[in-house]
Amino acid sequence: MDTMAMNHQEHFWQYQEHTIHAIQFGEGAKLLLAFHGYGDSCELFLKLEPSLAKHYTVIAIDLPYHGQTAWQASHFSPQDIVKLVEFILNKQTQTNFSLLAYSMGGRFPLAIYNSFQNQIERIFFVASAGFQPTLAYNKWLFPGWIRRFLRWVVRKPNWIAKFFYLGHKVGLLNASTYHVFERQLKSEEHRQRLFNIWVAFYKFPIQLKKFKQYVLQQQLPIHFFYGDKDKITSAHWGDKFVKDIPTATLDITKGNHFFIRKHLDPFLDEWLSTFQ
Alpha-carbon gap, residue 224 to 235, rounded angstroms: 8
- The residue ranking higher by pLDDT, 40 or 168, is 40
Per-residue pLDDT, 4: 38
Does 185 score more than 70 pLDDT? no
Does 243 score more than 90 pLDDT? yes
Does 250 score more than 70 pLDDT? yes
Per residue in 114-151, pLDDT tens?
A: 999 899 999 999 999 999 876 555 555 555 555 655 65
Confidence bin at 77 (pLDDT 50/70/90): very high
The third-level CATH classification (topology) of the domain covering 2-130+206-275 is Rossmann fold (3.40.50)
Alpha-carbon gap, residue 35 to 59, rounded angstroms: 9
In terms of residues, how long is the chain?
276
Out of 158-167, 197-206, 237-246, give the one with best mean pLDDT: 237-246
User: Other C-beta atoms within 10 Å of 60: how many?
Assistant: 29
Residues of the chain above pLDDT 90, percent: 66
Yes or no: say if 166 and 146 are a contact pair by the CB < 8 Å rule.
no
Q: What is the C-alpha end-to-end distance of the chain, expressed in Å?
A: 34
Report in angstroms the alpha-carbon separations of 225 from 41, 44, 91, 151, 239. Answer: 20, 16, 30, 35, 10
Alpha-carbon gap, residue 137 to 198, rounded angstroms: 8
Alpha-carbon gap, residue 180 to 167, rounded angstroms: 13
The domain spans of the chain are: 2-130+206-275, 135-201
Per-residue pLDDT, 196: 82
Alpha-carbon gap, residue 252 to 235, rounded angstroms: 8
Average confidence (pLDDT) over 90-105:
96
Does 82 score more than 50 pLDDT? yes
Kind of pairing between the strands at 120-126 and 18-25: unpaired
The amino acid sitting at 234 is S
Q: What is the DSSP string of 157-207?
A: HHHHHHHHHHHHHTTSS-HHHHHHHHHTTSSHHHHHHHHHHHHHGGGS---
Coil, strand or helix at 195: helix
Question: How many helices (H) and strands (E) would you count in the chain?
Answer: 10, 9
Alpha-carbon gap, residue 242 to 63, rounded angstroms: 27
Confidence bin at 226 (pLDDT 50/70/90): very high
What are the strands, taking DSSP E only, across the chain? Answer: 2-5, 8-15, 18-25, 30-35, 56-61, 97-102, 120-126, 222-227, 248-253
The DSSP bridge partners found for residue 9 are 4, 24
pTM of structure: 0.85
Alpha-carbon gap, residue 234 to 252, rounded angstroms: 11
